[in-house]
Amino acid sequence: MATNPLTPLTPRRVLAALGTVAVLVPLAACGSDSGDGDEGGKGGKTELTVLGAASLTDVFQAAGKAYEKEHPGTKVKFSFAGSQELAAQVKQGVPADVLATADTRTMDGLKGETGRPAVFAKNRLVIATGEGNPKHVKGLKDLADSKLKVVLAAPEVPVGRYGKQVLDAQKLKVDPVSQEPNVRAVLSKVELGEADAGLVYRTDAATAPKKVDAVDIPDSQNAIASYPAAPLKQSEHPKEAASFVKWLSTPEAQKLLRKAGFQRP
């Protein structure tokens, strides 16, 4: 039977109408929660968390902006630390999507936690000294001088392991005043004058040109650091994580890496 639109509203009809509204309002609210405000949802952005070696801090921040510009549906967030610290975080299940380390050894130790890694850059060591090189450090052998305050990274840190490798090859015994958890901590000690010299990556020394000098180490005495990146199997955004890793080898990303002083993979 058709309803007369002019039928007066009785108390019973008013209650029925209010009941209908009460049901529809929560449903509408639920619908909005799964829309634009939801990461990766319709109109939303996927947020990628990238765990990066400390030596990648500056270049990855620039790379993240470039990647977001090319992929407007993705936002990249970074967490930087020594590669060994990042590996521990992955094993502990810290939420993340991509891992980039300063050595293949650390990455290889996480085979069960990552997808296939790809080397996207290489690096070399230099000796960082105070601005103007006040102690006149010329090469590795000078680091063995007991009068020189030398700071190194701990041996479990990639740059510390590379440093030990080059010093051992030259049969040099160096007693550091401290062993730091990552390369940026080594650089900081030299910048602040708490050490006369330290072994860092060439790219790290380049981030503080007005505070430190970089003494080159001959290729025959140096070590090459390889940087691999891989998507993490625990990622909630596997497709986007794999896309970021692949992007690191594109001309755009490689241009940023060259500008920062990294070498071709």
pLDDT tens per residue across all 265 residues of the chain? 444 444 444 444 444 444 443 333 333 333 333 333 344 444 568 999 999 999 999 999 999 999 999 999 999 999 999 999 999 999 999 999 999 999 999 999 999 999 999 999 999 999 999 999 999 999 999 999 999 999 999 999 999 999 999 999 999 999 999 999 999 999 999 999 999 999 999 999 999 999 999 999 999 999 999 999 999 999 999 999 999 999 999 999 999 999 999 999 9
* Domains of the chain, residue spans: 46-122+225-259, 124-224
Rounded to the nearest 5 degrees, what angle is found at the Cα of 44, between the Cα atoms of 31 and 118?
135
d(CA 1, CA 255): 74
SS3 115: coil
Predicted TM-score (pTM) of the model is: 0.82
Tell me, which fold does domain 124-224 have in CATH? D-Maltodextrin-Binding Protein; domain 2 (3.40.190)
* Cα–Cα dist 261/20, whole Å: 66
Residue 31 CB neighbours (<10 A): 9
Instruction: For 46-122+225-259, give the CATH class.
Output: alpha beta
Q: Amino acid identity, residue 171?
A: K
Computed on alpha carbons and rounded to an integer, the radius of gyration of the chain in Å comes to: 27
d(CA 128, CA 148): 13
**How far is Cα 184 from Cα 188, in angstroms, rounded to an integer?**
6
- Tell me how many degrees the CA angle 244-245-249 measures, rounded to the nearest 5: 105
Alpha carbon distances (Å) from 7 to 2, 4, 10, 13: 11, 5, 9, 10
Task: Tell the residue number behind the tokens 């999507």, with chain if given.
Answer: 97
Do the domains 46-122+225-259 and 124-224 sit in the same CATH topology, yes or no?
yes
